[in-house]
Amino acid sequence: MINYKNLQSVFLWYFLFAFTGCMYYSMAGSIPSHINSIAIPIVENQTAEFGMSESVTENLLSKFNEENILRVTDEEQATSVLRGIITRVSDAPYTFTKQEAVTEYRFTVHMNVEWYDVRDDKVLMKKNFSGWGAYGLSGDISTDGIDNDGDGLIDGDDNDEFGDPREFATSVAVIKIAEDVLNEIMTSW
């Protein structure tokens, strides 16, 4: 014989758990309601790598404009500010042949990022990010046998691998940082 009283209790607990779990999930994924805009001042570059400030800043602006989660504006009008500091750039050998000859280099950019709430005068996020791109010495990244941008595609199968190897790796590293910063803001709020 089925005990309906116990069955009702189970359904009630299940309903409460499901409802509060959904409510928690929806609240965890939202930016504070008073924040509707973001300022992204030029990123500070503490390295000797030329043009990194501009490149990183342009990619951050591009990603935020593309995703349109916050209106990008100047600091005087913004409800939040995203500041970044490029702390280190490395360009080091990554893979070798059996004879210990370098076949692939990895260009990596390291950056500290802080997202600041202007109204409440508090830091919403403070985190370190890094992005990398790979390149070989062949001079032609469309035939170097390397997955230069980490997307799982190589050479002829990857239609965006072309240009100067080191410049391409630099661009990939900077794009990855911009994507990671945007994803962090979208998923942590």
Q: Residue 11 and residue 108: Cα distance in Å, rounded?
A: 53
102 in the same domain as 22: no
112 in the same domain as 40: yes
90 in the same domain as 58: yes
94 in the same domain as 77: yes
64 in the same domain as 40: yes
8 in the same domain as 85: no
List the chain pLDDT tens, one digit each, 189 residues.
Answer: 555 455 455 444 444 444 444 433 333 457 889 999 999 999 999 999 999 999 999 999 999 999 999 999 999 999 999 999 999 999 999 888 899 888 889 999 999 999 999 999 999 999 999 999 888 776 666 666 667 667 777 766 766 666 678 888 898 999 999 999 999 998 877
Q: Is the pTM of this model over 0.85?
A: no
22 in the same domain as 9: yes
Q: Residue 161 and residue 138: Cα distance in Å, rounded?
A: 13
Q: Residue 7 and residue 2: Cα distance in Å, rounded?
A: 8
Structurally, the chain folds into a number of domains equal to 2
Q: Residue 80 and residue 72: Cα distance in Å, rounded?
A: 10
Q: Domain range for residue 173? A: 32-188
